């Protein structure tokens, strides 16, 4: 009897990997950068500062509306909050590459505490007028212009390359969420404690942010960062943007958005709520919050 030919067994095919469904709950890797203690301190500090910025967007406009019935006052104070960021952010970024970044953070945070506390005191004593409010708004804008580039510049020195993008995303997400919560918290604190009390709450949150900086250790800038002169670095940065069409268009788009959308909405939303709708502080601030929710929802949908 002839020997039957042996049939080799069929190869075992591994089942295809199961893809994580879109829209599911985020995995632990979503918060991977939070495991880094240095980034964690910076993240909580950044969130506290962004929360105060959201509160100030509403509180300063509400302050000048309470002081004066001039239609232009709300627009001017919104301009005062924003123009230092436009003027000083780029030079501040150059400085951040050359000096102790931790010192810059402490300096900008401490100055913000002083300015916001002074605002509350002047309101309580009845000394806050339009021009004083404009000057205080300029001071707050200057502290943002100095501190914000430093917070962004130190991220690569706190986390490794593998988790850098995760850290950037978490940083951006935290700031966006606090910008939504901030106006409502600002309006609520004004409704409960008055305008001066609302600024006092901001000062208290800034003090917490200052304390969060104490355990933070930031590596010094690399040796190559100080080889060129500051003006040369500034010129190179502007030249790089000018010769890179995509980046130039992006920056132009951000500028136009700030000038024609964010600025006018900051000034007009509280004014319309108070003068046309007759709303008090908290109800008016909710209009900011719902606007932010719509923007964030649209961004997530487009992503």
pLDDT, tens digit, 9 for 90 and up, residues 176-223: 888 889 989 999 999 999 999 999 999 999 999 999 999 988 877 665
**Half-sphere exposure (Cβ direction) of 191: Cα atoms closer than 13 Å:** 15
Domain contains 29: no
Residue at 100 is within a domain: yes
Give the count of beta carbons closer than 10 Å to the beta carbon of residue 166: 18
Is 9 a domain residue? no
The dihedral built from the CA positions of residue 224, 229, 232 and 234, taken in this order, carries a sign that is positive
Res. 175: pLDDT tops 50: yes
Q: Which of 88, 96, 53 is nearest to 225 (CA)?
A: 96
Q: Is residue 8 part of a domain?
A: no
Q: Is residue 262 part of a domain?
A: yes
Predicted confidence at residue 134, as pLDDT, reads 95
In a domain, 250, yes or no: yes
SS3 category, 256: helix
Expressed as residue numbers, the domain containing 249 is 35-218+229-302
Nearest C-alpha neighbor of 71 from the set 278, 268, 286: 268
Closest C-alpha to 116, from 9, 199, 36, 14: 199
Q: 71-120 pLDDT, tens per residue?
A: 788 889 988 998 888 888 777 777 777 778 888 899 999 999 999 999 99
How many residues comprise the chain? 303
Sign of the CA dihedral with 37 first, then 38, 41, and 46 last: negative
* 20 — pLDDT class (breaks 50, 70, 90): very low
Packed helices 37-67 and 263-271: angle between N→C axes, nearest 10 degrees: 50
pTM: predicted TM-score of the whole model, two decimal places: 0.81
139 Cβ contact list (under 8 Å, min separation 6): 111, 115
Q: Is residue 17 part of a domain?
A: no
What pLDDT sits at residue 291? 77
As a whole number of angstroms, the distance between CA 110 and CA 302 comes to 38
Number of domains in the chain: 1
Q: Is residue 14 part of a domain?
A: no
Distance CA 177, CA 296 (A): 8
Q: Does 17 have pLDDT greater than 60?
A: no
3-state secondary structure of 121: helix
User: What was the pLDDT predicted at 93?
Assistant: 74
Residues 41 and 158 sit within 8 Å (Cβ to Cβ): no
The 10s digit of each residue's pLDDT in 49-71 is 999 998 998 999 999 999 988 87
For 32, 117, 178, 215, 254, the CA distances from 36, given in Å and listed in that order, are 8, 33, 22, 13, 31
Tokens of 83: 């123009």
pLDDT at 4: 46
Q: Give the CATH number of the domain where residue 203 resides.
A: 1.20.1250.20
Residue 33 to residues 28, 42, 132, 162, 171, Cα–Cα distance (Å): 10, 11, 42, 9, 10
CB 167 within 8 A of CB 33: yes
Residues 131-136: what's their mean pLDDT? 95
Render pLDDT for 223-265 as a digit per residue (tens, 0 to 9): 555 556 767 767 777 777 777 888 778 777 777 776 666 767 7
pLDDT band at 15 (very low <50, low <70, confident <90, very high): very low
**pLDDT tens string 271-292:** 777 777 777 888 888 887 887 7
Q: What is the CA radius of gyration of the chain?
A: 25
Selected residue with higher pLDDT from 76 and 172:
76
pLDDT at site 226: 53
The mean pLDDT of 158-164, rounded to a whole number, is 85
């Amino acid at each position: 009897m002839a020997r039957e030919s042996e049939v080799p067994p069929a190869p075992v095919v591994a089942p295809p990997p199961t893809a994580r469904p879109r829209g599911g709950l985020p995995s632990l890797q979503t918060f991977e950068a939070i495991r880094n203690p240095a980034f964690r301190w910076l993240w909580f500090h950044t969130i506290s500062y962004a929360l105060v910025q959201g509160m100030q967007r509403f509180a300063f406009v509400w302050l000048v509306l309470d002081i004066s019935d001039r239609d232009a006052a709300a627009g001017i104070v919104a301009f005062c909050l924003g123009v230092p960021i436009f003027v000083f952010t780029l030079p501040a970024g150059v400085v951040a590459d050359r000096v102790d970044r931790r010192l810059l953070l402490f300096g900008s945070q401490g100055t913000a505490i002083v300015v916001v506390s002074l605002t509350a005191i002047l309101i309580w004593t009845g000394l806050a007028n339009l021009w004083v409010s404009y000057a205080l708004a300029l001071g707050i804008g200057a502290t943002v212009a100095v501190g914000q580039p430093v917070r962004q510049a130190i991220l690569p020195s706190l986390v490794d390359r593998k988790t850098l993008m995760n850290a950037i995303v978490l940083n951006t997400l935290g700031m966006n969420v606090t910008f939504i919560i901030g106006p409502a918290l600002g309006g609520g604190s004004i409704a409960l404690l008055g305008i001066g009390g609302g600024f006092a709450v901001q000062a208290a949150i800034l003090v917490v942010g200052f304390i969060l900086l104490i355990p933070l250790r930031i590596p010094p800038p690399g040796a190559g960062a100080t080889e060129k002169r500051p003006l040369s670095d500034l010129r190179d940065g502007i030249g790089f943007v000018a010769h890179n069409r995509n980046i130039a268009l992006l920056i132009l788009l951000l500028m136009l958005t700030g000038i024609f959308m964010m600025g006018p909405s900051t000034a007009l939303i509280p004014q319309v709520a108070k003068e046309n709708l007759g709303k008090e502080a908290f109800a008016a601030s909710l209009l900011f919050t719902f606007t932010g929710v719509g923007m964030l929802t649209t961004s997530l949908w487009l992503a």
